[in-house]
Structure 1
Amino acid sequence: MDNNVKFRRNVYIILVGILAFGIISQIARSDLVLKYVSNNNPMSLAELREFEAANMLVTDESTSDAHCMVYDSLDELSVKYYDNFREVYRYIKQPYTIQDVAADEIRFESCRAVLLLNSIETMPDAVDELERYIAEGGYLFMTRMDHPGPVFTRIYRKIGIVNYRYVIGNNDIEFTSNVLIGQKNQKFADDHFYNDSLSVELDHSSEMLAKGDLSPIIWRYEYGDGAVMVYNGNNLFTKSNRGLIVGALSMLIRDYIYPIFNAKLFYIDDYPAPLSKAIDLGIYADYKRNIASFFKDIWWPDMIRAANRYDLKYTAVAIQDYNEVVAAPLPAYRQEDLTNLIVYGREVLKTGGEIGIHGYNHQPLQFREDIAKEYDYKTWSSYEDIETSVQTVVAFLKKAFPSYDTVSYVPPSNVLSEQGRKALADNWDSLRVIASLYEDDPRGFSYVQEFEIAPDGIVEMPRITSGYSEAPDMLWLEASVMTAHGYFSHFIHPDDLLDEHRGKKKGWKNLYQDFGNLLDRISDTYPWLKAQTSGDAAMHVAAVLNSRITRKQSEEKLAVDIENYRTKQYFILRTDKKIGKLTHCHVQLIDENTYLVEATNAHFNIELK
């Protein structure tokens, strides 16, 4: 009898458990939860406006940790170098002083490290002092190689060269070290990396870090009690090569630590958006579906599987309409499109993702006719019409998700004018981040960004790479930014496979295979990256930009103080020493002699053995 009672009781418990699970599951699938979904971030625009990005240029030469940048204000290339290096130093929060060979007496005695951004031929009177500075324990970073002259002849043996011949052209670079994190033994061969180098033979004690087919490109050489890092080229003035600057610097100076963002972001542009019910012959041949059914039944389930497998948090930026109307009154939304936004937006949120805004339609918020002609767009009729478009799409998102604040904006085709940006800020109260492009656009069409907090409090946070398939220029940019910032930001469009250029006529099966290969490589090379949505990452990026750090270093210990510490921050530490006792931090080996440091307090210490 007792056994029967126990059995029935267990059955009831199991049935109640199944029923409870079913109810919870249905609630999770329903719109009821989404009515109360809130992503209100505790950091307001008012707080962000108070943030100040650190200016690392110091005027007090007694600052013990300061590096000395030497440049030539009369040399256009040297000025471009300085413009790029000062941005790098802003990010790595390294104090520096500036000396101009065209106006100043060059001195090295108070420099923690010296960076030559000029031709060494412009400083004949400083070479002997520079040699003494290195021999007595200083660090020198020669950041460019010019045609050798009499001054170079006096110093080349002190920088690890035993013989040199003539200037050559390098179209590739192969890493014999991890100067770019995770890239040892990787070769990048493409015209975008073209670089003029000097044909040299290195001293046997020089440590070669990267080479071209015809000559070494980066090497480290110890001279006396100090060391020299040489970059055998002249292209460190570009944003795409900033990783080389940070990587070389962190391998020149012993036990060097610098802050990173540690973020992995993934944007889906034009999603959710109105879906065409037209027939694409390629899709229909493979899947017997029209375009809308394909994206609903095939593409999106595949994207969810990728998110689960590779720890992705999608930021999907929505389009209300694909009309080309650029003057009020703007057509109202269709109920079908609102339903699509709710259905697909709900799925995005359930994966832990974020919904942002791409636009009312796909017409960039700008007035230039040359840009409109290039992209086959229209220009907006007036500033007031742009404002109306912003108000309309913000209201459309609010209609779908009343308790959800959209915080992220991605410009259509990465084009945004100053007037368009103002309209966004003035008509979208919850806007916190604009995400466009990182790499420079020589045509001046794109909205190109640095990581920064604008005066109006909006975080400027560029995307880095794009596409389902890998490309040489994207691989290079990814590796460079990863070393400089610990940051991966990638975007795709659902309809890339319908575009002959973007989709390369591969079909979804092959594109999805390429996509998986890309994500496999990212997961294998940078497993430590922290998956985030655009809004969450923006708050963290803002906190890092607003912080200041002080490094205190000895042979046995590294101490870091963080001013304006708000949340956990991350650093890259390069050292060949063993890690000892840790205080207020966690340390993880992520590459050879390269560590990810998580600071859990404004003051942390790392013992080095």
Structure 2
Amino acid sequence: MSRKLIIFTCVIVSVLLLGVGLQTIRTVDLFPLSSARNVYQEAQFSVKSSAQSSITGDKLSLYMYTNPKDSEGNKVKVNLQTALGLAKLHADSITADELRTIKPNPWTVILLTGEDISELDQTVIQSYLKEGGRLLAFTRFYAPEWNDMLGIESNNEFIERTIHGIEVNQTVFPGYPNLPASNALFSNSMLDIKLKPQVKVYLSAEGVPMLWKNNYGQGSVVFWNSTNSIQKVGRGLMVQSIGLALDSLVTSQVAVRSLNIDDFPSPVPLVVNPLIRQEYGLSTPAFYERIWWADMARFAKLYGWKYTGLMIGNYQNQTSSPLPTLLGNYPKILPYFGSKLLGQGGEIGLHGYNHQSLVTAKEPIDTNLGYVPWPDKASMVESLQRMVELSNDLFPGHELKTYVPPSNVLNKTGKAAIAEAVPSIDIISSLYYTGEEEGFLEQEFGVDSEFPQFTNFPRISSGYWLDDSTKFYVNDVIANFGLVNHFVHPDDALDIQRSGGKGWKYLSEQFEAWMASLNRNYAYLQPLTVRDAVKKLSIYSAGKVDVHYSKDVITITTKDELVPMHYTVRVPDNRTPEISKAAGVLTRMEHTDGLWHLEAHQPTVTLQLKEMKP
């Protein structure tokens, strides 16, 4: 190499190193420390009880029958009971013999959860329906002698392949997207049937009727030609389909929406990301501060979000002592973004000391994650205590309440470590739906059965761009009991796989379109941090709602319940519900016949069902 070339090379290297140094300096200067201290303001909710008074009308009676020998039917039963509980409905389990004693009534529904109906007497069911009783079957069954009651003109037994997808023919609850046959979210064994002309079809799959209603005598039958009622996805449809069998139905809604930012605040990688460099010409830290956070702050202002950020200390894989110190090369980034988050009325929760899931080598985890197990609970406790110390130092007075497990993997040892190291944490948010991978923590909403000091508040959905399956998840939980719990990650925009190769401009536009749609269709969902959402859900769960029905009047009474309280109200197509101005606000739900949203401002609300003028 010539002397001139060596000198030229040294100059180039020096310039590059100077550029890196200046970039690092600029990165640090991006995050000026604030002396402001943010104190979390807890949301307040009004709780009232109705005064005792005599109320006329019938209460709703739901009777659930499952053949004890039908294992799949019993799984559907458990799933349905959970869905009903979330909507503040209740069903009594009955035997085949007890079913014979049920008196027909417009407000009585027999719910069949399985396909084994061998114990049931067809003539008893026929008589019950003809005299005005209602029946709903959640699992398809082959019984040709029932064809007339079910509205089936011809029945060719079972289709010899699995049917996929779902198509909305008539709206059961607004907002559900159609899912094509290429979508495996709904996979069903179905009957090959032809329905009578008078039957009303609500849902179908690959052209096969899936959900329909048939009037029979003075009563009616709603039938699910499906084996999907065993899974969580579809609980909202299950609950709302009960209303199809009745003249009227009231279901309760907690009316909450939460938006979590996972891995935030966290150390921002001081590297150049090709996606960000190509789209904005910025370093990763500059992009986070100038573009990503600016947009997130704008979304919070426009759509009312109160973000919950889940803080993480580092991305190293060390799980045993001595654990590396925190902040290191990132002294200003965590306090900067944390202060911004708290300043908007948000919450800071805990994701972990690092991104290694709190499991030992003896506990299940998908090996493809490549995580390093923790040697024991004591090591977990040490790491969590490090984060508590850091949080207290950076955000004095802000109590950690919410924990989200890295990669949604958590087991008993980890829960015990959290309880010991961070006693202020009383909320764990993992997954509502899981796949078949090992170790994923799937949750139901409510108190944890193993560690009652924790309340489970699982995520429903995630991502800036929601595909149709994800939109289906979101809508179904709204239909069930009125709740959204969505997660995003700051680095989704940096990851080619998670972003689908799309830039932040595209992702942010898609994200905002979803938020705008959510606000437009479900304006009543109250934006809350996770800790306040759990507080509201706990009050909602502990309260009691009683509904009395008659042909012309529906009366709702509550005890220790939220005010305002939210309900979905289904009434006959030819009726319009009316209430006094002081009692609340009624809003017709779009694209539906007879379905309304009620915001009740009083613990007792009376709806008058007025006949619609021709």
Q: Give TM-score, length-normalised by structure 2.
A: 0.85
Q: Does 1:498 align with 2:494?
A: yes
* 2:205 alignment counterpart: 212
Cross-structure match for 1:95 = 90
Whichever residue aligns with residue 427 of structure 1, its letter is A
Q: Which residue of 1 aligns with 2:577?
A: 579
- Match in the other structure for 1:600: 601
User: Higher mean Cα deviation, 507-516 or 294-303?
Assistant: 507-516
Match of residue 558 from structure 1: 554
- Does 1:133 pair with 2:128? yes
Match of 2:351 in 1: 358
State the partner residue of 1:11: none
CA contact (8 A) 1:319 1:357 kept: yes
Structure 1 residue matching 2:348: 3-state secondary structure: strand
- Relative distance call for 1:368 and 1:551 in structure 2 (3 A) is farther
Aligned to 1:523: 519
Alignment counterpart, residue 158 of structure 2, candidates 153, 167, 186? 167
C-alpha distance after superposition, 1:32-78 (max 9, x if no partner):
5x4251345789xxxxxxxxxxxxxxxxxxx9633111102212211
- Specify the SS of the correspondent of 1:237: coil
Cα distance change on mapping 1:559 and 1:444 into 2, 3 Å: farther
For 1:426-437, what aligned pairs fall within 5 Å after superposition?
426-437=420-431
Partner of residue 590, structure 1: 589
Q: CA deviation at 1:514?
A: 2.6
For 1:397, the equivalent position in structure 2 comes to 391
State how far apart, in whole Å, the 2-side matches of 1:532 and 1:41 are.
Answer: 8
Asked whether the 8 Å contact 1:585–1:605 carries over to 2, the reply is no
3-state SS of the aligned residue for 1:537? helix
User: 1:569, 1:600 within 8 Å by CA — same for their partners in 2?
Assistant: yes
1:376 matched to which residue of 2? 370
1:566 positional shift: 4.9
Secondary structure of the residue aligned to 1:371 is coil
Match of 2:172 among 176, 179, 185: 179
Partners in 1 of 2:506 and 2:40 — Cα distance? 38
SS at 1:550's partner residue?
strand
Identity of aligned residues (%): 25
**Residue 538 of structure 1, CA deviation:** 0.7
Report what 1:78 is aligned to. Answer: 73
Residue equivalent to 2:340: 347
Q: Secondary structure at the match of 1:165?
A: strand
Aligned 8 A contact 2:360 2:374 in 1:
yes
Question: Take 2:205 and 2:562, find their aligned partners in 1: how far apart are those partners?
Answer: 43
Alpha-carbon offset, residue 474 of structure 1:
1.2
For the residue of structure 1 that corresponds to 2:587, the secondary structure is strand
Residue in 1 that maps onto 2:258: 265
Aligned to 2:272: 279
Is 1:423 aligned to residue 424 of structure 2? no
Tell me how far 1:219 sits from its aligned partner: 0.9
Counterpart code for 2:388? V
Deviates more, 1:70-79 or 1:282-291: 282-291
SS of equivalent to 2:81:
helix
Mean CA deviation greater in 482-491 or 158-167: 158-167
Letter in 2 for 1:134: L
Unaligned segments of structure 1, at least 5 residues: 1-28, 44-62
1:363-408 superposed Cα distances (whole Å, 9 cap, x missing partner): 1111146516231111111101111122221221121111222222
Is the aligned partner of 1:406 residue 2:407?
no
User: Secondary structure in 1 aligned to 2:315?
Assistant: coil
What is the deviation of 1:338?
4.9
Query: Which whole-Å CA distance do the structure 2 matches of 1:599 and 1:452 have between them?
Result: 24
Matched AA of 2:174: I
SS in 1 for 2:561: coil
Contact 1:39 1:404 in 2 (8 A): no
Deviations 1:309-341 (A, max 9, x none): 333222111111222221233233226645322
Q: CA deviation at 1:133?
A: 1.0
8 A Cα contact 2:258 2:485, kept in partner: yes
Partners of 1:334 and 1:212 lie apart in 2 by 53
Given the superposition, is the C-alpha separation of residues 606 and 337 from structure 1 closer, same or farther in structure 2, using an over 3 Å criterion? farther
How big is each residue's C-alpha offset from its partner over 1:151-178, in whole Å with a ceiling of 9 and x where there is no partner?
x222211122222224224212111222
- CA distance in 1 between counterparts of 2:392 and 2:217 reads 66
Counterpart Cα distance in 2 of 1:368 and 1:74: 39
Indicate the residue corresponding to 1:154 in structure 2: 145
Match of 1:309 in 2: 302
Q: Give 1:209 deviation, angstroms.
A: 0.9
**8 A contact 2:400–2:425 mirrored in 1:** yes
Shift in alpha-carbon separation, 1:519–1:580, aligned structure 2, 3 A: closer
SS of equivalent to 1:257: strand
Per-residue CA deviations over 1:553-580 (Å, capped at 9, x if unaligned) read 1112212222332553322111232122
One-letter code aligned to 1:516? E
Pick closer, same or farther for the CA change 1:499–1:31 going to 2, 3 Å: closer
Segments of structure 2 that go 5 or more residues without pairing to the other structure are: 1-31, 46-57
Equivalent pair of 1:188/1:472 in contact (CA under 8 Å) = no
| Contact 1:240/1:477, CA 8 A, preserved across alignment | yes
CA distance in 2, matches of 1:76, 1:496: 41
8 A Cα contact 1:182 1:526, kept in partner: no
Distance in structure 2 (CA, Å) of the matches to 1:389 and 1:588: 50
Q: Is the 8 A contact 1:66 1:94 kept in 2?
A: no
Change (3 A) 1:548 1:356: same
Instruction: Name the residue aligned to 1:52.
Output: none
Distance in 2 of aligned mates of 1:42 and 1:481 = 24
Residue number among 466, 480, 495 corresponding to 1:484 in the alignment: 480
Give the partner amino acid of 2:432.
Answer: Y
- Compare 566-575 and 536-545 and name the one that shifted more: 566-575
The higher-RCO structure (CA 8 Å, 6+ apart) is 2
* 1:456 match: secondary structure: coil
1:472 aligns with 2:468: yes
- Measure, in 2, the Cα distance between the counterparts of 1:507 and 1:449: 33
The CA distance in 2 between the partners of 1:41 and 1:572, in whole Å, is 24
Q: Against the structure 1 CA distance between its residues 555 and 336, is the aligned structure 2 distance closer, same or farther, given a 3 Å change threshold?
A: farther
Structure 1 Cα separation of the partners of residues 452 and 540 of structure 2: 18
Shift in alpha-carbon separation, 1:606–1:430, aligned structure 2, 3 A? farther
Question: What amino acid sits opposite 2:579 in the alignment?
Answer: K
Contact 2:463 2:487 in 1 (8 A): yes
Q: Deviations over 1:259-316 (max 9, x none)?
A: 1221121111001100111112232222222222221222111222233333322211
- Equivalents in 2 of 1:89, 1:559: separation in Å? 20
Q: Select which of 58, 65, 75 maps to 2:60.
A: 65
Change beyond 3 A, Cα 1:42–1:509: closer
Q: Secondary structure at the match of 1:578?
A: strand
The number of equivalent residue pairs is 553
CA positional deviation for 1:440: 3.6
Give distance in 2, aligned partners of 1:70 and 1:108: 13
Rounded Cα–Cα distance in structure 2 between residues aligned with 1:42 and 1:453: 21
Amino acid at match of 1:261: V
Which residue in 2 is equivalent to 1:13? Answer: none
Write the distance in 1 (CA, Å) between the matches of 2:476 and 2:533.
Answer: 19
Kindly indicate whether residue 249 of structure 2 is the aligned counterpart of residue 256 of structure 1.
Answer: yes
* Structure-2 residue corresponding to 1:55: none
Would you say the 8 A contact 1:278–1:291 is kept in 2?
Answer: yes
**Matched-pair contact (CA < 8 Å) for 2:67–2:117:** no
Are residues 368 and 483 of structure 1, via their aligned partners in 2, closer, same or farther at CA, if it must alter by over 3 Å? farther
Distance 1:212 1:77 in 2: 21
Which residue pairs with 2:186 in the alignment?
A: 193
Distance 1:445 1:453, change over 3 A: same
- Rounded Cα–Cα distance in structure 2 between residues aligned with 1:444 and 1:66: 41
Q: Counting helix residues as a fraction of each chain, which structure ranks higher?
A: 1
Mapping for residues 2-21 of structure 1, pairs under 5 Å: none
Q: Retained in 1: the 8 A contact 2:81–2:90?
A: no
